[in-house]
Amino acid sequence: MTYAVKFTDVWKRYPRGWSEGEQPRYASLRYDLARLWRRQGGTRQPQGTEALKGLSFEVEEGASLALIGPNGAGKSTALKLVSRISFPTKGEVRVRGRVAALIEVGSGVHPELTGRENIWLYGQILGLTKSEIRERFDQIVAFAGLEPAIDAPVKFFSSGMQLRLGFSIASHLSPDVFVVDEALAVGDAAFQARCVDRMRSLVNDGHTLIFVSHSLSAVRDLCREAILLDRGRLVSSGNAEQVLETYTDMLHEGSISGSNRPEPIQVKRLQVRGAVDGAPLSTGSPVTLLLEIDSAIDAPGVMIDVGLADRYHTFLATLSTQSSGRRTDLLAGRSSLSCHIPALPFLPGEYEVFFEVQNPRTGAYVAKQSYVGTIVVSDGPSWRRSELAYGSVSGRGPIDVPFEMTLHRADGRDH
């Protein structure tokens, strides 16, 4: 089997002041001259931020590979090297065939052109003939659901419309390598499900998929292989299920992070209390989460989120102080946060608890998302205990939804 993508000892350094994913606003002659001087034997002291550090791996033709890891791990940088949007500082990236990429909302589309013009432009860039583009045109428009707006300039499209157009174009023009970043998170749930089906179809037809997502359930559904990155280095690679297990274990141990600096706000202890202290939790019973928080700083006007996720790191619910509509001031020192759930809707299983603090005005993290403990639901509807397959597009799900179901014959007779 031949490779579709090959990284050989790849290093990527951004100049000081740039971060992963950012592009320069203008070219810097001073920077280019300084880099040339270093290459010609001048000072070789490292400058800037290293996004990738000696990364080597291969992706076989027809493979479905996920890049996973925390924020700042280097995932988006690797995708940009595959897409030839950026180039390595050192090392070699080799790609065979046409590459179609959806790295951010609006990527691959020109805002001044209409939707129709963008389809033709993208197809010609990929080297398709006019007849090939014409054959796919109606499928692209129908998949995106943009028939009424296809002749309007893209700059008037909403972010969701731009995403639908970009994904539809990229996925219907027969790319040899299809690269998708977290941009799909902008779309609605129905469109995300269609995107997953479309990507699965491309893989089944022999196309190569490289996928980046924080949704580990989507990774599990789509990808047979995975690579775990942390701080620009390769941590683990191989079977997707095994790499996901490694990642979740490291999250629980707190041994994986985008930064070596300790968070200024940390949860020191999580207590899970049911209706009766010490009694097992059951579906539909009340539960209270008590978090003991240590803060090294005053954090006025913040948003505190407690997330509940399945074992594949798919978030099922978020409990947020912002829901009260009131300002939350977290002061330096020890604090206690209480989250009371009157009726726990989860079926029997293990559920992970995550904690984060954000500035709601800027969206910046005051304390990045961290795993703080586990909720174990022991009792619940017995007919569902052995059928849990949550965190999956095709799974039954972990949520207990009260319902009644009846079936009536058309002639009025009972079944």
Q: What is the pLDDT of residues 17-60, one digit of tens each?
A: 444 444 444 445 555 666 666 666 555 555 667 889 999 999 99
Give me the pLDDT at residue 19, please.
46
Domain covering 3-253 in this structure, CATH number: 3.40.50.300
pLDDT top residue among 383 and 62: 62
Q: What percent of the chain has pLDDT over 90?
A: 37
Give me the pLDDT at residue 20, please.
46
Average pLDDT of every residue of the chain? 82
Domain covering 265-387 in this structure, CATH number: 2.70.50.60
Distance separating alpha carbons of residues 109 and 183, to the nearest angstrom: 14
Distance separating alpha carbons of residues 262 and 326, to the nearest angstrom: 28
Evaluate whether 292 touches 336 at the Cβ level (below 8 Å). yes
Give me the pLDDT at residue 108, please.
67
Q: In the structure encoding, which two tokens stand for residue 105, read together? A: 């909302």
pLDDT of 212-269, one tens digit each?
Answer: 887 777 788 889 999 999 989 999 999 998 998 888 777 766 656 544 457 899 999 9
Total Cβ atoms within 10 A of residue 22: 9
Give me the pLDDT at residue 221, please.
80
Q: Where in the chain are the domains?
A: 3-253, 265-387
Residue 294 CA to chain centroid, in angstroms? 29
pLDDT top residue among 46 and 187: 187
pLDDT of 363-404, one tens digit each?
Answer: 788 888 888 888 888 888 755 544 444 444 444 678 887 777
User: Which residue, 270, 271, 321, is CA-closest to 299?
Assistant: 321
Give me the pLDDT at residue 259, please.
47
